[in-house]
Structure 1
Amino acid sequence: MFTGIIEELGHAQELVRQGDSATLSIAAQAVVADVQHGASIAVNGVCLTVVDHSPTSFTVDVMAETLDRSSLGALQPGSPVNLERAVRADGRLDGHIVQGHVDGVIQLLRRAEHEHWTEVTFSLPEALAPYVAEKGSVALDGVSLTVASVGSDEFSVCLIPTTLALTTLGARQIGESVNLEVDVLAKYVERMVGLRSTGQADSK
């Protein structure tokens, strides 16, 4: 589990495709300080398992489904990536509960620059619209954010200078893709309501 609070910006070194999977190597410093084989690190919001590491980099395996359902397959050498280690059980949950399971890839539609913040608007697929609510939480490329406004096919978030400077979102341009993970609590609520409405929740 993650919190959506990015620890550092790493950089993709190499993405090597191997049939229905790939290996991805990433240059990093902070997240490899205490890394171990098998540790979980979120890369642009995707939970991945460390299979090799050094003091300045780590390598993960990426399955075909992950490449298909996220933007990781488009990474090029030098591409910046948001990195976060799995949260400790005794740590602070400063963002929100982030699983590292991407629900969809969306596009940046508009940027509106203000004196001390930037409003960024993204596309919203119909299938994911029920899970995005005003003042609710989303993770964009692994960054925990609060939804400022939401429409039928788009939503906006507001980025403070720290987020703009310390994550990939500061450099994202119109038309570029980001990974979206909706709030897992919303998905469980929908599931429970759906089961109760059909009577399945009380069946044995």
Structure 2
Amino acid sequence: MKTLTKTALAALCGAALATPALATERTVPADLVFTDAMVPYLYQYAACVFGGPGATADERIAGCSGEKARLQAEADDPFYYWHRGKEPTRDRQFARAFRLLDDEARILEQHYGPVPETVTDYMDCLGKNIAGTDSFQAGRSIDFIAFNQPCREAASFSFETASDLELRLFQRVQRRDRVIRVPLSTTIAYEFDRGLLGARYF
């Protein structure tokens, strides 16, 4: 994960997303780029398409369409504060991230296997709890560290008993920081190489 420069971010957001034959792709066709403020919503959606009801990735994606619409609608109010003045870039980036999560769900199913439930449960817990805080909704701060341990426990994740795969994926998605919005500052965007979970971690 790395911080993008403003120029690189603009180029990524403005590029058209290709539609490859995912049956032959072994990694997500583009890097996933999103801001801290998008994490609560993208984590909830990822938990749904990676581990929600459905026998196949396509069934989960179809079943999660209502969840996606809900998350996109709920993001409007906090995004007003977190991305003020950056609405066009924010909207493209957010929509693109949802599409890439769909691609990743299909690729993981085709080539790698299921995502451990401990990982999807952690993401879902963290996303829901952060999105429900007043400080996040008002665009003041995102207190990931306050929910990291409770969500680990809720997901029954333990470093002592986790499999190697669980450890690799959990270390990829775990958040133990606190983000404070500085007025008039540019919201930082992060780049996850080839998807949220990254195929090479399987």
TM-score normalised over the length of structure 2: 0.28
Larger C-alpha radius of gyration, 1 or 2? 1
Greater relative contact order structure (CA < 8 Å, 6+ sep): 2
TM-score normalised over the length of structure 1: 0.28
Q: Tell me which protein shows more strand as a share of its residues.
A: 1
